[in-house]
Amino acid sequence: MATRVSCLEVARTLLLAWVLVQVTGAAGTEDIAVAYNLTWKSTNFKTILEWEPKPVNHVYTVQISRPLGDWKGKCFSVTETECDLTDEIVQDVHQTYSARVLSHQVDATSSTGEPLFTNAPQFTPYLETKLGQPIIQSFEQLGTKLNVTVQDAYTLVRRKDKFLRLRDVFGQDLSYTLYYWKASSTGKKTAKTNTNQFLIDVDKGEDYCFHVQAVIPSRRTNQKSPESAIECTNQGKGVPREMFFIIGAVVFAAIVFIIVLTVSLHKCKEAKAKRGGKENSPLNVA
> What one-character-per-residue DSSP string does 10-63 give?
HHHHHHHHHHHHHHHHHHHHTTPPPPEEEEEEEETTEEEEEEE---SS-EEEEE
Query: 176 near 150, Cβ under 8 Å?
Result: yes
Beta bridge partners of 277: none
pLDDT of residue 26: 44
Query: 136 near 150, Cβ under 8 Å?
Result: yes
Spell out the CATH class of 135-232. Answer: mainly beta
30-48 residue pLDDT tens: 578 899 999 999 999 999 9
Query: 204 near 144, Cβ under 8 Å?
Result: yes
Closest-CA residue to 207 (of 238, 182, 178): 182
Q: pTM for the complete prediction?
A: 0.70
The domain covering 32-128 belongs, at the CATH homologous superfamily level, to: Immunoglobulins (2.60.40.10)
pLDDT in tens, the chain (286 residues): 445 546 556 556 554 544 444 434 444 445 788 999 999 999 999 999 999 999 998 999 999 999 989 999 999 999 999 999 999 999 999 999 999 999 998 875 555 568 899 999 999 999 999 999 999 999 999 999 999 999 989 999 998 889 999 999 999 999 999 999 999 888 899 999 999 999 999 999 899 999 999 999 999 999 999 999 999 998 765 444 445 456 677 787 888 888 887 878 877 777 777 766 655 555 454 4
pLDDT of residue 185: 86
Q: How many C-alpha atoms does 263 have within 13 Å on its Cβ side?
A: 6
Query: 45 near 157, Cβ under 8 Å?
Result: yes
In angstroms, rounded to a whole number, what is the distance separating the alpha carbons of residues 152 and 132? Answer: 10
Secondary structure of residue 1 in the 3-state scheme: coil
Give start-end residues of each CATH 2.60.40.10 domain in the chain.
Answer: 32-128, 135-232
pLDDT of residue 70: 95
pLDDT of residue 208: 96
81-102 residue pLDDT tens: 999 999 999 999 999 999 999 9
Q: Listing from the earlier edge strand, what are the strands of the sheet with 98-104?
A: 72-78, 59-65, 98-104, 116-119
pLDDT of residue 84: 98
pLDDT of residue 120: 98
